[in-house]
Amino acid sequence: MWGTFILVFAAIWALQYVLTQIQVKHYRASIKEFAKLDSGYLGTGFYRKKLGTGALVMLVCDEQSQVVEAKVMKGITVFARFKSIDRLKGMKLEESKHADFLLMKEKNALEGAINMIEKEMNKRKENEAWIS
């Protein structure tokens, strides 16, 4: 009896490990895909709850702070995949902060991605000022 229980537990744990590795591979492939875009800034943000679903947003914007690409992954399982947020494309970063079509968890994740992009933009401006 205990042997069967341990075997089933080990099988479930191994399956979780394999599925997690597949999800990490998908995440890394999505990051590489975004990084290949010609110009701009890449930002990622996440929102996590202790219980329930969370959200992860990846955002790319150009030099004029206009959103070029946006994707969201939400869910609680390893089967969650990135989905495009077409309504954000073409919006300015400031406008996208007030997008009313996003869920609260998506807005929180989007805010994290925007903060990351703004940090990178400020870093670049500081470097340009220092060099010139």
Q: Where are the domains of the chain?
A: 1-36, 39-131
**Which pLDDT score is estimated for 131?**
62
Show the low-confidence residues of the chain (pLDDT under 50): none
Residue 92 DSSP one-character state: B
**Which pLDDT score is estimated for 128?**
66
What distance in Å separates the CA atoms of residue 20 and residue 94, rounded to the nearest whole number?
34
- The alpha-carbon radius of gyration of the chain (Å, integer) is 19
pTM for this model (two decimals) = 0.78
**Which pLDDT score is estimated for 46?**
92
**Which pLDDT score is estimated for 20?**
87
Which contacts of 24-29 are long-range, i.e. CB under 8 A and separated by 24 or more positions? Answer: 26/81, 26/82, 27/73
**Helices (H), ranges, 36-101:** 93-96
**Which pLDDT score is estimated for 52?**
78
Fold of the domain spanning 39-131: Sufe protein. Chain: A (3.90.1010)
